[in-house]
Structure formats: structure tokens, C-alpha cells
Amino acid sequence: MDLSLTPELIEFRDEVRTWFDEHVVGEFARHRGAGASWDDEAFDVRLAWDRELSAGGWLCLGWPKEYGGREASVDQQLVFQLEYARANPPYRATTQGQDLFGPTLLTFGTPEQKARFLPAIVRVEEQWGQGFSEPGAGSDLAGLRTKARLEGGGWVIDGQKIWTSLATHADWLYVLCRTDPDAPKHRGLSMLLIRADAPGVEVRPIRNILGGADFCEVFFTAARTPADHVVGPVDNGWHVAMGALGTERGTVLLGEHLRIRSEVEAMIAAARSRGMSPVLRRELTKAWTEARVMEWNGLRLMTSLKDRGLDPTVQASISKVFASAAHVRMGELASRIAGAPGDLVGENYAVDRFQHMFLGSRAERIFGGTEQIQLNVLAERTLGLPREPR
């Protein structure tokens, strides 16, 4: 990607930078870098930060103006991401709606659905949770068993979902259901929208290794939603879901990968203050290099989104596989830099940033598409290797 900025982009960058300098203050400054897409740390502060961004017109930049966006170009969105990483504010709390469900609805939703749901996402009035994975249907998502049937003018949903990020905060869930039980498993699926507090919906938080409860399991027992709360054609939900997952593995991860560079810089500063051996210097050099590779993979993905001959699905998988494994290694290195004090947690299981990186990164090789599945996708669809025996 050409990183040279036009005069217009320089003006836009300066506007973004000035806004961050003026608004990342107080509680927002004290919680720099807090949270992640899979973590509920400082959630109330992060939610307030989202509202601050919304008031400034900085949420959902690429969305049409009629829904609250700015219709920003890909280049402007990239500049914003780079400046966001530089400012290192709290991680946004409502990424599910802004970065996953919203773009999916923009592509597949009806005009009525867009007008109903998108402005509320931009205004941070409604939060969303993704109901995809199930026990026994995680990597093999098409094997899901949650069913929905039309009855009495609406959909009736029965089944169970798991690893529903931040479902305890969600007002709405977008749920992949089997609506034609006789169709092949990649067909006969539909994406339905349902209130998280609807009768028959039960959300149970799952405590994770960091002590948070951001992941949840959700049970549907004769839960009802209106007939028009289906995104895309009925029984064609697999195509819709792949659009959502492509976004998750691509542009959503770009912001997280840019943040990792600041983590590595903190590791370097800590190592310098405690003395750095030649071995540690070499490992930190590798970590810094891998952080830059993540950044460059993200830039390559943005290039593919500008339709310059690169397949964004392939680029998203490459970026995801590399970053997941590299971040685990960085977390292990951070733990070694911390030494014996890194084995101790604070009051109420409070963990510091290095401990957070070490523990939280373990899940990155699983969520958003497991590493094994992504490697198979790249091998079979990109390199043309024989399919794995099944």
C-alpha cells in the first residue's frame, strides 16, 4: 500500500490527532489500552468512550451518512486506525455492532432493517452479540443444530449457543439457525435477529482465564422473534455468516494488531529498566519485527479492500494466522520479562498488562476461526493442495 499521504489525508490525520489529544483525558487516559474484543475490562469506561466517539462523529466512519456514518474512504479509515493505535485509548465496547453486525446488515439487510438498527448502533444506544458457535459446532460451524421454524407469523427458536462475546451486555443477538432441517448442512441456514431479553432467551456468563465474564452461553427455548427479523434470504444464511466472519478476521483485527506494537514497546522499556541480555535482546527484536509484520499484513488487507487485485478473504486469513501465533509468543516473552512477580495477581484477581497479554492471547488461536481451520483454508483454496481427508 502507498503510505504517502495526500494533502487532504494529512489534513484529515491532523483533525483526528487533535481530537484524540483533546479527548483522551481523565478516566479515558487512566484506562489507556484497557480491554479487547474478547474482554470486559473497564467496560463502563469503554462504553463511555464509545459515546464520546459517537458525539464526535468518529464511529462507523465508512457507513452512509443517512445511517450516521461519514462515508469515509478506505484511506481515511486506515489513517483513523493508525491514529487510534497511536493515541491508545480504551478499546471500544460496542465493536460487535459497529464492526461485525453493522457491515453485515449494510450488505444483506433490507432498507427497513438498516433504518431501524444502524443509527442506534452509531448512537451507542443498542449493543449486539453474535450467536454462531455451538457445543459441537465451532470450527465446523455448518454443523450447528439450533433450529428455527415459522409459526404464528414469527420465528420460534430452540437451541444453544456458546462463546457469545459480551452477551451479558447485549440488547440484541444475531443468531445463525437451521431453518430447513432437510437441506445439506451448508444450506438451509438463516440469520435471525432476536432481543437478548426476549422470553425463552437465557444468557449465562462463563468466567474466563482473566477472571472476566465476557464469553457466555445462550439458551433458546421456544424464543420468538418477528418473521421479518431475518437478514438476507431465508435458508441462505451461510453466505451471510461468511460475510460477518470475513469482517471479523479482517478489518476488526487490524485495530487490535496495531495495538500490539505498543505492547511490544512496553516490553522493550521494561527489559531496558531491568537489564537486557543478548538472548533477550534477540527475542525482543523478533517480537518487534513480528509486530511490524502484523501491521504490514493489515495494510495489505486494506489494499485488497480497495480492489487492487488481492483477495481480501485470503489476506484476512493470512493476517489472522500469523498474528494469533505471534501474539502468543509475545505473551510468553512478556511473562519472562516480568519474572517472578509476574506469577502474582493483585486484589480480586487483578492482572497487569503483561499478565493480560500472556493469558488473553491463548484464546486468539481459537476465536474468529481456529488456526487449524485457517491453515486448511489457505492450503486448499490458495495453494491448491489436496483437501484434508474426511
Query: How many residues are present in the chain?
Result: 390
Residue 386 CA to residue 381 CA, distance in Å, equals 9
- The H or E element spanning position 65 is none
Burial class from Cβ neighbours inside 10 Å (0-12, 13-18, 19+) for residue 198 reads middle
Residues 372, 139 contacting (CB under 8 angstroms): yes
Least Cα distance to 59 among 120, 128, 144, 8 occurs for 120
Q: Which amino acid is at 271?
A: A
Residue 94 CA to residue 251 CA, distance in Å, equals 15
Out of 134, 248, 256, 290, the active site residue is: 248
Torsion angles phi and psi, residue 262, rounded to 5: -70, -30
248 catalytic residue (yes or no): yes
Q: What Rg do the C-alpha atoms of the chain give, in angstroms?
A: 21
Q: What sections of 192-342 are H helices per DSSP?
A: 237-247, 253-274, 278-305, 312-338
User: Which residues are part of the catalytic machinery?
Assistant: 248
